[in-house]
Amino acid sequence: MSSDVDRQRIEDLEIMVAHQAKTIEELSDELKGAHDQLVALQRAVKQIADRVNGLEEGGFARPEITKPPHY
């Protein structure tokens, strides 16, 4: 009788380990996707920051204000 109980416990543990392994794999895939998105967002923020810095350094020419000819 004890042997049957032990077998059942071992089988239950094996099932639990299999579920945990699947969950770990799924979480790993999700983490990889989140990391890829983070890298893409960091790249986009850097590009935007570079553009803003370029504008601040005079890359943006302001039109000179002149009086209209009728003055």
> What does the alpha-carbon distance between residue 65 and residue 44 come to, in Å, rounded to a whole number?
34
Model-level pTM greater than 0.85? no
Nearest-CA neighbor of 11 among 3, 42, 61? 3
Give the model's pLDDT for residue 61. Answer: 57
Q: Report pLDDT digits (tens) over 2-11.
A: 899 999 999 9
Does residue 16 carry a pLDDT above 60?
yes
Q: Report pLDDT digits (tens) over 23-59.
A: 999 999 999 999 999 999 999 999 999 999 988 777 5
What are the angstrom distances between the C-alpha of 23 and each of 7, 14, 16, 33?
A: 24, 14, 11, 15
> What does the alpha-carbon distance between residue 15 and residue 10 come to, in Å, rounded to a whole number?
9
pLDDT band at 71 (very low <50, low <70, confident <90, very high): low
Q: What is the DSSP letter of 59?
A: I
